[in-house]
Amino acid sequence: MSSTIGAIKEAFTSATGQTAKVADLQNVTSDPSKKPTKGLTTDHGVFISDTDNWYTGLSPTRHDTVRDVRGFATKFYTEEGNWDLVGNNIPVFFIQDAIKFPDLIHAVKPEPHNEVPTGQSAHNNFWDFAGLQPESAHMAMWAMSDRAIPRSLRMMQGFGVNTFTLLNTRGERFFVKFHWIPELGVHSLMWDEALKIAGQDPDFHRKDLEEAISTGAYPKWVFGIQVIPEARENDFDFDILDATKVWPEELVPVEIIGEMVLNRTVDEYFPETEQVAFCTAHVVPGIGFSDDPLLQGRNFSYFDTQLSRLGINWQQLPINRPVCPVLNHHRDGAMQHKITKDLNYWPNRHSVGPPVPPAEGGYAEYPQKIQAIKQRLRSPKFQEHYNHAQLFYNSLQDYEKAHVVSALSFELSHCDDPVVYESYTKLLNNIDFDLAKQVAINVGGVVPDKPARANHGYASSRLSQLAFAPKEPTIKSRRIAILLADGFNSAEVEALRAAFKAGSATTWIIGPRRGSVYPDDEQVGTGNGYSADHHFEGQRSTMFDAIIIPSGAKHAQALAGSGRTIHWVREAFGHCKAIGALGEGVAFLREVVQLPGVQLSPDPNSDAVTTSYGVVTAGRYDVGSAVADTLTIKQGEKGFVANFAYELSKHRCWERESDGLVAKVAF
C-alpha cells in the first residue's frame, strides 16, 4: 500500500505552477484579438452578415443555495492516466444498491400532471419513498442538517462515498474511503438566509469561489484516506461496503496524504467546465473497486451518462483527455478527433499496441477469492438502517440538532398527504424520540408517547461541523460590510480596512448610493469621498459574513432614518453574524436597532471593548487605539479589531439562536 500512497502524494505535491494539463489546454486555446481575420464566420467558415437579429429565449434561474446534496468531483491527470474521484459533500447516500437509482430519481423528480416540483425535495413523492425505504434514514439526516446549505463551496467537505480499494506492490489489498477537508473549516448558511440568497443572487456560490481565487485567498483542502486491511473487513458491526454507513474515525482514523489548492479559474466555462466528464470507473494502477453494490452500478451508469451527454468520443475532448500518451484501437464514432493510420486490432502482424503487463505499468486486477451463492439479496448487516442515523444525530451540537428539527418540519409541512408526513414522523421515532416528537408536533404527524427504538447513545467526534474548525482561527476570505452615510469617521474606516486586509478578509463599503460617500471632514459634493461598492437597496446583509457601523454623528443620524439599514443590522443579527459598532454607531444600535439581550459599550469616551453575543462595540477608536490594536485572532485580546476578528472567525454566534435572542427580532 505504501507505494500507492506515495504515488498519490506525488500527484498532489508535484502539481504546482504550470501543470501538464494547463500546458495541454494551451494547445486548443486561441485568442481572437491576436489572430485578426476579415470578419466573423460560422463554424463551417461562412462570413456572418447580421449578429443583432435572431430568436430570443430565456434560460431558467439556477437556486445555488437551495437545500441539496452537492457533488464534489476531482479529476487527476496523472502520468498513468486519469483518475476521477467522484463524490459528494455528504459521506453516505440514500440507497445501498444501484438498482434503486431509478426509483430514487423518479421520486425526487416532478410529478407528471403538473411538473411540480422542479427544485426541491419538499413534496409527497420524495418523502413517501424515503419513509418506505428506511435505508435512506441516515442520508436524510445529513440532508436535513446544515451540511446541505453550505456557506461556500470552499467550506464543504468532500467524500468519495463508496468503498474503493488500494493494491500495493506485494499484491495486498486494502479497503479505502477518500476525504477532502477544507482549510477554512466546515460552515453553513442559516435556512432563512439560504432562502433569501436563492432569490437575491442565484449565482452566489459561483461568485464566491471566483472572488476567493481572484483575491488570492485560494481555496484549499487537505486530502485524507481511511484504510482497512482486507483481513479486517468483517470486524465491524456494520458492513464496510454499505454506502449508507460511515466509518467512524474513532475506529478508522483519517490519514492526511496530500492537499489541493484552487489557484486559477477557467478561461472559458463551457469547454473547461461544462464539458468535463467524470466516471467512477476511471482509476489508475493501485486503485480498484470493492464489491460495494452502489459503486458497481455507478461504474456502469457514469460511463453511460457521458455517452448520452457528450457522445462516444467524449474522452477526446481537451478537458477530458489525459496528459499521458494514449494508444488504443478505437476508431470512428461521432465527433472523432483523431486520424489514426494503419492497424486497429490486436493481435496484428506488426505487433502494434500490445497489452502491457502489470510489471511494466499495466493495470493490475486483484485476484479476489470468491466463495458465495449468487442471489438477489443483501447481507444481514445491510438490513440495519438506524444505528448510523442515530450516531450522526447524537454527534451534533444542540444548535445543529435544532436545525435538523426545523429542516424536517419545513420539508414535511409541504407534504399535503397525511399518509406521507405521518409515516415519516413514525420513522423518525426509530432515530430519536425527542426529534420525532417535536417534528410531529410541528407538522401534524403522529406524536409518539415512547421511543420506537432505544437510542444507543454513541457519538462520533468528527461528524459535527464544529469539529473541523481551523487549528488557527482565520478570517481569510470573509466578507465584511461597512455601513456608511455622509458624515462618517474616515480615519476609523481606513484603519479598520487596513487591519482586516492584513487578515485576508475583504471589506465592502455599503452606502446610500453607489458612488461617493463623504466623511465628516469633507463637505458633501466636494473632495473625492469614499466610493461605495453597493447601495443599501442593491445588496443585503445575506451577502456578507459580518457588518460594522463606524462612528460619526451625522452618519449615524442618517442611518437611523433609513428602515433598510435598520433591517440590515437586524437581519445580520438574526442570522447570527458578527456585528461591530464604534462611537455613535453604538448609540445607533442601542437606540434605534435595539438588539435584545445584548450588552453594548457603556462609555462613549473609552476604547475598552465590550463583546456580547457576537456584537463587538467600543466608545471610541482613535489613532492610539489603532496602534495598540493588533490583528491577533484570539479570545480575550484587547482592541476592537482583535475582538471583532475573533467573533468573525467563529463563523456564527450560535448562542444567540439557542438562547432565544434570534426569535425576538423580526428580519
Q: Which residues, 6 or more positions from 439, have their beta carbon under 8 angstroms from its beta carbon?
A: 405, 408, 409, 412, 425, 428, 445
* Residue 587 CB neighbour total at 10 angstroms: 21
Residue 566: exposure state from Cβ atoms within 10 A (0-12, 13-18, ≥19):
middle
Q: What is the dihedral of CA 133, 138, 144, 149, to 10 degrees?
A: -120
Say if residues 75 and 306 touch (Cβ distance below 8 Å): no
Beta strands in 230-362 (DSSP E): 255-261, 287-289
Question: Residues at the annotated binding site for heme?
Answer: 302
Task: List the one residue out of 558, 551, 663, 649 whose CA is nearest residue 601.
Answer: 551
What is residue 11's DSSP assignment?
H
| Angstrom distance (rounded) from CA 67 to CA 193 | 11
Q: What is the dihedral of CA 429, 433, 436, 440, to 10 degrees?
A: 110
| Angstrom distance (rounded) from CA 276 to CA 162 | 21
| Angstrom distance (rounded) from CA 495 to CA 157 | 35
Q: Where are the alpha helices (DSSP H) in 352-474?
A: 387-395, 398-413, 418-428, 433-443
Q: What is the dihedral of CA 93, 99, 104, 105, to 10 degrees?
A: 110
Residue 372: exposure state from Cβ atoms within 10 A (0-12, 13-18, ≥19):
exposed
Cell numbers placing 566: 435598520
| Angstrom distance (rounded) from CA 168 to CA 227 | 13
Give me the sheet containing 609-612, strands edge to edge.
534-535, 506-511, 479-483, 546-549, 578-582, 615-618, 609-612
Helix axis angle for 418-428 and 124-132, nearest 10°, is 40
Residue recorded with cell 449578429: 51
ω before 347 within 30° of 0 (cis)? yes
Helix/strand/coil percent split, the chain, to 5:
35, 15, 50
Say if residues 131 and 427 touch (Cβ distance below 8 Å): yes
Task: Label residues 417-452 b or e (16+ Cβ within 10 Å = b).
Answer: eeebbbbbbbbbbbbbbebbbbbbebbebbebeeee
The continuous run of DSSP H or E covering 84 comes out as strand 81-88
Q: Is 441 helix (H, G, I), strand (E, B) or coil?
A: helix
Question: Residues at the annotated binding site?
Answer: 302
Q: Which residues, 6 or more positions from 551, have their beta carbon under 8 angstroms from its beta carbon?
A: 488, 489, 492, 582, 583, 584, 585, 620, 621
Cα 150 to Cα 67, 158, 210, distances in angstroms: 9, 12, 16
Task: List the one residue out of 654, 404, 541 whose CA is nearest residue 662.
Answer: 654
What is residue 591's DSSP assignment?
I
| Angstrom distance (rounded) from CA 468 to CA 491 | 37
* Residue 150 CB neighbour total at 10 angstroms: 24
| Angstrom distance (rounded) from CA 178 to CA 164 | 8
| Angstrom distance (rounded) from CA 493 to CA 552 | 11
The continuous run of DSSP H or E covering 647 comes out as helix 640-649
What is residue 519's DSSP assignment?
B
